[in-house]
Amino acid sequence: MRRSAPSPETRRRRRALRTVTAAAAAATLLPVFATAHAAEPAQGAGGTLQQAFSDAAQHYQVPKSVLLGVAYLESRWDAHQGMPSVTGGYGPMHLTDARTALTDFPPRSTGDGGNDARGDDSRPLVTTATAEAPDLAALPATMTTLDRAAALTGLSADALRTDPAVNVAGGAALLAATQKSLGEPLSADPANWYAAVARYSGADDTATAAAFADDVFDVLKEGQARTTDGGQQVTLAASPALKPAAGQAARIGLKQVNAAGTECPRGLGCEWVPAPYQDIGGGDYGNHDLANRPVDEKIDTIVIHDTEGYWDTAMQLVQDPTYLAWHYTVRSSDGHIAQHLNTKDVGWHAGNWYTNAKSIGIEHEGFLTDPGTWYTESMYRTSARLVKYLAAKYRIPLDRQHILGHDNVQGPTASYIAGMHTDPGPYWDWGHYMALVGAPVHATAGPWGGAVTIDPDYETNQPLYTGCVKAGDTCPAHGSDAVRLYSAPSEDAPLVKDVGLHGTAATTTGVNDVGARASTGQQFAVADRQGDWTAIWYLGQEAWFHNPQDQPTAVNALTLVITPKEGLASIPVYGRAYPEAAAYPAGVPVQGIFALPYQILAGQRYVVGGAEHGEYYYSVNFDTTGQQVVRGEQVYYEIQLGHRVAYVKAEDVSLLPSALGLSGR
């Protein structure tokens, strides 16, 4: 029975679902038993979540470690206040009920084609593509597992959505049913559950299902312990010698996908869904540029996006020649990856042509303004493995000035700043993600280091954000990777200003307003300290954030910084690092070097991400004639200017260790 429409208060508390997974899912993988099990008394009775895993494991004869491992891969044991994930999953076991989620939270417009993702004025603005919304009457079985869990257990659908302990019982019942459907006994040995775990992922191809199971078994080998978003301490003991039983992988029995031509690490479910390269008339072509990277131009950046749309929508749009193209998309429900462009080619995704020409774009199924539509651990892990693989292949540094969010990409010129995208937003867990990538945030100095790396506790750091549904509305309380920046050491002080984004107007608490925000992993030079407050140099001003010793929101660092050369009162900053005019050959239009509306004043310091000679990739013809990479003598430093990176000319600055001359701070 479908629930009645939620109250306005419920709508405010819950976050919106925005997606349905791949269009052609496999037939039902889990049988619905004719006779439901009776609900066990311990569920929902106020016990601990750890005990709920024990009770459900015993009742449904599933090894407790397997149950814990699967739940960790789905949710890291979090309940998310009973709100649905991006793919309509509820609770620690990610039981899917997309029909309820989409009914409670109707989808808004999808896609993000209203900007110039190419990031220069040499091509027409791409805005014409549209995509179909999901069909609620034709949801695949993988999107309605909560209904099957209700039938198997006799527990109510509402309780399965909202009570973490009941949700665990439902997941245990599904795992047991899957094991039986595979003709396997309800073994006490976790090694005998590999195929069932793979099927539980909901993936419709063997490679993605196997990657999910591999990650679960890695969790079982390593062990895990954490405090959940509900304040519950959950522990999974390590079993380092555990291996799947012989022959289990062969029993997964799902379809094979077209992995030919993909550039993915071994062991991930990755398929080739190519973006079209074709002439669309009128001298225009879409939706990317052919190139020969890294032979002709270095790849030094990876840009993390969210799709602001469903998986199906993203697949439709990326295959439309009138739209945009990026290199990869990662599905939230199971971590499945689709590759659309060869990494040697240039995608249109970042809104800055200089960044596009030197980067790889990875989209993730999700919506930044809806903190309730949470990402699965499976998606974080497969994405991190992809990034780690690409970073090793192209020697990309694993830091937050080379692994950027779309919201960290600077506008190429002043006119672009206000229209730059803000995904994946303040609810993306950068600390956890960078740890999975292999570059966890940690202190590299004492207070003498002269710099800090932002590192709040994600679960407890919950700044107030507004505008998730409409302007002025307060967003639901939720963990965040970002700290808010003030003009003085007080939360009563105004937020620091972003003159490029707002002019003379004030920065806001809007979820899309990046004008006074520093995110996990970003590094800044220390300007001052007062008690529990730290000031950093940010957009040409001192920016203060609360950083108490007993619960720090940043760790100390030692790194390289730039400062204006002696005798210069201020220096300009730039949104792209283009060559000097003399470097352009005949036939290639000279690109202007335009300063942004920010200035770095004498004595200020900004952390350096790297040094580059100016470059410009000239590519405006469908047949690739005339393509050139223009390289100049002008050297630039990439710096962490504010929430977004920027560039300064090496001739304007001095490069020095962040600790130099700061012994008193």
Mean pLDDT check: name the lowest of 5-9, 308-312, 415-419, 449-453.
5-9
381 and 454 share a domain?
A: no
> What's the pLDDT at 124?
58
What are the Cα distances from residue 501, in Å, to 411, 504, 605? 10, 9, 21
Residues in Cβ contact with 463 at an 8 Å cutoff, skipping those fewer than 6 apart:
426, 480, 482, 483, 484, 509
Question: Average model confidence (pLDDT) for the chain?
Answer: 89
Q: For the chain, what percent of residues have pLDDT higher than 70?
A: 88
Residue 594 has pLDDT above 50, yes or no: yes
Q: Flag whether 415 is in a domain.
A: no
Give the Cα separation of 275 and 645 in Å (integer).
29
Give the Cα separation of 316 and 367 in Å (integer).
17
Task: Give DSSP secondary structure letters for 597-623.
Answer: EEEEETT--EEEEEEEEEEEEE---TT
Give the Cα separation of 502 and 510 in Å (integer).
13
Q: For the chain, what percent of residues have pLDDT higher than 90?
A: 75
Chain centroid offset of residue 477 CA: 19
Name the nearest CA neighbour of 142 among 313, 288, 24: 24
Question: Considering 396, 431, 451, which residue would you say is the last residue of a domain?
Answer: 396
Query: Residue 406, SS3?
Result: helix
210 and 76 share a domain?
A: yes
Q: What is the mean pLDDT of residues 592-607?
A: 97
192 and 340 share a domain?
A: no
Q: What is the pLDDT of residues 429-455, one digit of tens each?
A: 999 999 999 999 999 999 999 999 999
Residue 266 has pLDDT above 50, yes or no: yes
> What's the pLDDT at 86?
83
351 and 289 share a domain?
A: yes
Give the Cα separation of 515 and 246 in Å (integer).
55
Report the relative pairing of strands 328-330 and 359-364 from DSSP bridges.
parallel
Q: Flag whether 619 is in a domain.
A: yes
Q: Flag whether 461 is in a domain.
A: yes
Contact call for residues 398 and 390 (beta carbons, < 8 A): no
Confidence tier at 407 by pLDDT (50, 70, 90): very high
Give the Cα separation of 522 and 402 in Å (integer).
11
For 265: left if phi > 0, alpha if psi spans -120 to 50, otherwise beta; the answer is beta
Q: What is the pLDDT of residues 19-68, one digit of tens each?
A: 333 333 333 333 333 333 334 434 444 579 999 999 999 999 999 999 99
Q: Flag whether 327 is in a domain.
A: yes
Name the nearest CA neighbour of 180 among 203, 196, 204, 201: 196
> For the chain, give me the number of helices (H) and strands (E)?
14, 28
Residues in Cβ contact with 588 at an 8 Å cutoff, skipping those fewer than 6 apart:
616, 618, 626, 628, 630
Chain centroid offset of residue 315 CA: 18
Q: Flag whether 9 is in a domain.
A: no
> What's the pLDDT at 471?
82
Residue 513 has pLDDT above 80, yes or no: yes
Residue 301 has pLDDT above 90, yes or no: yes
Neighbour tally for 195: CB within 10 Å: 25
Contact call for residues 354 and 578 (beta carbons, < 8 A): yes
Mean pLDDT check: name the lowest of 254-263, 400-409, 640-649.
254-263
Give the Cα separation of 129 and 110 in Å (integer).
11
Q: What is the mean pLDDT of residues 72-77?
A: 96
Q: What is the mean pLDDT of residues 420-428?
A: 93
> What's the pLDDT at 133?
61
CA angle 615, 621, 624 (to 5 degrees): 75
* Boundaries of domain holding 217: 30-106+139-251
Report the relative pairing of strands 451-454 and 554-557 from DSSP bridges.
antiparallel
281 and 236 share a domain?
A: no
Q: What is the mean pLDDT of residues 174-192?
A: 97
561 and 487 share a domain?
A: yes
Q: What is the mean pLDDT of residues 590-603?
A: 97
> What's the pLDDT at 450?
97
Give the Cα separation of 60 and 175 in Å (integer).
9
Task: Give DSSP secondary structure letters for 235-264.
Answer: EE---TT--PPTTSGGG---B----TT---
> What's the pLDDT at 134?
62
Q: How many domains does the chain have?
A: 3
Q: Flag whether 405 is in a domain.
A: no
> What's the pLDDT at 5?
35
Question: Considering 396, 414, 434, which residue would you say is the last residue of a domain?
Answer: 396
Give the Cα separation of 218 and 200 in Å (integer).
16
235 and 274 share a domain?
A: no
Q: What is the pLDDT of residues 317-361, one digit of tens each?
A: 999 988 889 999 999 999 999 999 999 999 999 999 999 999 999
Query: Residue 136, SS3?
Result: helix
Residue type for 97, please?
A: D
Name the nearest CA neighbour of 177 among 58, 29, 329, 47: 29
473 and 357 share a domain?
A: no
632 and 660 share a domain?
A: yes
- Tell me the two tokens of residue 590: 């000279």
- Which DSSP symbol is given to 510? B
Q: Flag whether 113 is in a domain.
A: no
Give the Cα separation of 648 and 563 in Å (integer).
10
Mean pLDDT check: name the lowest of 132-146, 169-183, 325-339, 438-452.
132-146
Residue 663 has pLDDT above 80, yes or no: no
Residue 208 sits in a domain of what CATH number? 1.10.530
Residue type for 430, please?
A: W
Neighbour tally for 581: CB within 10 Å: 12
Residue 132 has pLDDT above 70, yes or no: no
Give the Cα separation of 153 and 588 in Å (integer).
69
Q: Flag whether 283 is in a domain.
A: yes
94 and 209 share a domain?
A: yes
84 and 189 share a domain?
A: yes
237 and 268 share a domain?
A: no
Q: How many residues does the chain have?
A: 665
Residues in Cβ contact with 456 at an 8 Å cutoff, skipping those fewer than 6 apart:
431, 480, 481, 482, 483, 520, 553, 554
Residues in Cβ contact with 41 at an 8 Å cutoff, skipping those fewer than 6 apart:
none
Residue 306 sits in a domain of what CATH number? 3.40.80.10
Question: Considering 227, 251, 275, which residue would you say is the last residue of a domain?
Answer: 251
Q: Is 414 exposed, middle or buried (0-12, 13-18, 19+ CB in 10 A)?
A: middle
Q: What is the pLDDT of residues 118-131, one digit of tens each?
A: 888 766 555 556 66
Give the Cα separation of 591 and 614 in Å (integer).
11
Residues in Cβ contact with 635 at an 8 Å cutoff, skipping those fewer than 6 apart:
611, 612, 613, 614, 649, 650, 651
